Amino acid sequence: MNNINVIDVIIVLIEWSYGIITTGLAFFAILAIVILVFNVYNNTKRKGKKVRV
């Protein structure tokens, strides 16, 4: 029974860490997109031109 419990705990930890990693990546991706859009908006505002990405 102990072996089964240990395996279950390991599987739960792997899934938990995987979920944290994926949510972290998604968060950073959204953050990067927001920063990129913000920079492009600032550039267009300063220069008065449309910046092509």
The pLDDT, as a whole number, for residue 45 is 79
pLDDT score of 43: 86
State the pLDDT at residue 33: 96
Contacts of 43 (CB under 8 A, 6+ apart): 51
Indicate the number of domains in the chain: 1
Per-residue pLDDT tens digits for 17-31? 999 999 999 999 999
Q: Angle at the Cα of 30 (from 18 to 36), degrees rounded to 5?
A: 140
Which residues span the domain enclosing 18?
1-52
What residues of the chain score a pLDDT lower than 50?
none
